[in-house]
Every structure is written in C-alpha cells, then in structure tokens.
Structure 1
Amino acid sequence: MSRLALRLAAAGTLFLLAARSAQAHHAMDGELPASLGQGLLSGLAHPVIGLDHLAFIVAAGLIAGAAGVGLAMPLVFVVASMLGVFLHLLALDLPAAELVIAASVLAAGVLLAWGRATGGRGLWLALFVIAGLFHGYAYGESIVGAEATPLLSYLAGLFVVQAAIGLGAAALASNRSWTTVSLAPRLAGAVVMGIGVSALAGQLIPG
C-alpha cells in the first residue's frame, strides 16, 4: 500500500476515534418513529449518519464497478440488509452483530486499499449477503415496536438511500474505467479501512 493511503487511513482513524461519529446511528435521537414522515426520515438517514454503514455501501459500489462484477451487485447487499431488518423484527438473534459489521467495513477497506478487490462473483455475492444481513440487523434496532406506517416508510427510505449510494458508487467507478489498482478507489479504500479500524476499536476497547 502507498504511504499516502496509509496516511489517509491513519488520519481517518484518529478523527473517527476522537469524534466517535460511527456511534450516531439514529436520526430521531433514539426515539421510535411514530409517523410516515418520521419513518421515512429515519430510514433515509440511518445508513448515512452511521459512518460504518455508509463506508461499506460506498466500498461495495466501488468494488462492483472497479472489479467488474456487475453494477447491480450492491443491490445484493441492499436486499440482504432488508432481510436483516426482518430478522431483528422477528426477534431472531444475530450474535456479535456490531463486531461483524466493523469487521466487514475493515475487510472491504483493506481489499480496496491494497488493490486486491478481485475474485469471482460468488465470493462477492457471499460477502455482500453476509454483510447485508448484519448491517440490516443493526438497522432494525431503531424500528422495533413501530406501527405499520412508520415501519413501511422506514424500510422504503432504507432501501432507496442504500441503493442510490451503492449504485452511484458503482456507476462512478465503471464510468471512469477504474480498476482495482487505480489510485482513486485505493485511496477511498484507505479511508474505509480507517473507519473500519475505528468501528472495530469501539467494539473491542471499552469506552
């Protein structure tokens, strides 16, 4: 990895450790959405203000575009995340969810930063499905117990914002003809890696 990539990762990690921004996952300040508008706002905001979620979605899109595994591949992650929400709503337990989420962000960042985001579609399909289930399980925490209307609007917002970010990143990488060894996705990977390190440290080191 280049020195610049390492410096970006280190700077991102220090900033995130200080700000602990990855902990801010709730647009409603932890309150349960009670209306269509609140549900939609919470669904749109959750993957954006949760930097660990946002970082993985962007990385998934860049991997899809740069590795040539298909622009629709980020949708695999999005659909799996919706299933993860339902797992939470059904009170089915996914152990160590936050730890797995942090590890998935770190893994995606490492693959991008090292220019190793290669492999068959089956590998990425498995990664995106597993990561999606755990990220979605975490999304479900903020909507458990909500009425049907805010629940459905939350799910709609969640799907739309994730799909837009993932497909947008994939289209960007594809339109610019980036490959896994291009500088831009590798630098982005270094930033994602920093976010992953921060999230992992937050899980392993008592606050």
Structure 2
Amino acid sequence: MRRSSFVAFAIATLVATPALAHTGAGTVSGFASGFGHPVGGLDHLLAMVAVGILASQQGGKSIWLLPLSFVAMMIVGGILGAASVALPLVELGIVGSVIVLGAVIALGKHLPTGAAMALVGLFAVFHGHAHGTEMPTTASGVEYGVGFALATAALHAVGLGLGLTVKQIAQKTAPVALRAGGGAIAAAGVFLLAA
C-alpha cells in the first residue's frame, strides 16, 4: 500500500462514525457491539492509537509485541469485567493510560521491551474490564470479545502506520513529531480527566 493511501485510510478510520440508521431494529450483534466499543470513546481511541505510535517509536520487536501484549491483557480484563469481577479505578486507569502513554511518547525515551509490554498490558486490563462490563446482555461473549479485540488491533495498526509513516517522511523530524503527538495525547487525557 502506498504511503498516501495508508495515510488517507488512517484518517478515514479515525474520523468515521458508525451508521446508526437501524438502531433498535433486530437483534444486537455481539461482534458489531464489540467492534464499536473501542472506537466509541475518545479515551479508548487515543490510548489504542498511542500503543501503535509507541510501538513504532520503540521499533524492533516492540512493533508487534506491544500491540499483542495490549490485546492479550485487554482480553483478560474483558473476561474479568464480563464475569463481574470488581476492579477499582477503571475509569481513572483508562484516562491514566492516555496521559501516561502520551507522555512516554512525548518524552521519546526508549523503554526496555519488557517494561513497555508491562506498561501497555497493565493499562489494557482497565480497557478490557470496561469493554467486558459494558457488554450487552443479549450479545454473544465470544463474538463481542472478537469484535473489540479486532477493533483494538485495527486502532493499534493505525497508530503504528502513522508512526512509521511519519518516520519515513522525515527521518530527522520524526522523533519531534511523534513526541509532539504524544504530548497532544497526554494533554487530551488531562482534559478527559478534568471533564
């Protein structure tokens, strides 16, 4: 895929809104509900794109290990949420993920791969718990889980693609651009916390 095509796809993905023409008609699709949940909230969307950007910034094995760690631990959190296992400070953990991941990107520090995996994995549990707790009662748990896992992976791919594209476009300015993007994500998280 050409760079300009990828950038256009990434922008379209980020600004797309769900088609709500048939709300309330028929049965709730577990997959559609699960897929829509991560993109339905700015906090989830920013954190998941941030994981992809962080993975691109870290480079090497982190490109696939960070998104994989997030999705795996998010599924664990989703199971806990669906099973009504209490987890304290879920909303604070979600907003905190936006702030911390944005700040880590903004600072431009290279973390050891294991530490970066642990960081995103910890935050993923909070995101997953929220997804599991908010699963519609009429939805299939497996379909819902597959939906939110795939949407999350797609958002990670968008962030990863954006990060890698910025790096390719301007090798010298990419670290500054990524750090500025991380700062913007962190600032949005502080705004979400205050709201």
TM-score, length of structure 1 as denominator length? 0.72
Secondary structure, in 3 states, of the residue corresponding to 1:110? helix
Q: 1:66, 1:95 → 2: CA distance?
A: 31
Secondary structure, in 3 states, of the residue corresponding to 1:92? coil
Structure 2 counterpart of 1:60: 51
Task: Say whether 1:125 aligns with 2:110.
Answer: no
Name stretches of at least 5 consecutive residues in structure 1 with no aligned partner.
1-26, 203-207
Is contact 2:57–2:105 with CA below 8 Å preserved after alignment?
A: no
For 1:52-201, what aligned pairs fall within 5 Å after superposition? Answer: 52-68=43-59, 69-72=61-64, 73-116=66-109, 118-143=110-135, 145-148=137-140, 151-174=141-164, 176-177=167-168, 182-201=175-194
- RMSD of aligned alpha carbons: 2.9
Is contact 1:62–1:173 with CA below 8 Å preserved after alignment?
A: yes
Secondary structure, in 3 states, of the residue corresponding to 2:35? helix
Q: 1:40, 1:134 → 2: CA distance?
A: 20
Identical counterparts, % of pairs: 32
Q: 1:180, 1:169 → 2: CA distance?
A: 17
Q: 1:179, 1:44 → 2: CA distance?
A: 36
Query: How many corresponding residue pairs?
Result: 171
TM-score, length of structure 2 as denominator length? 0.76
Secondary structure, in 3 states, of the residue corresponding to 1:58? helix
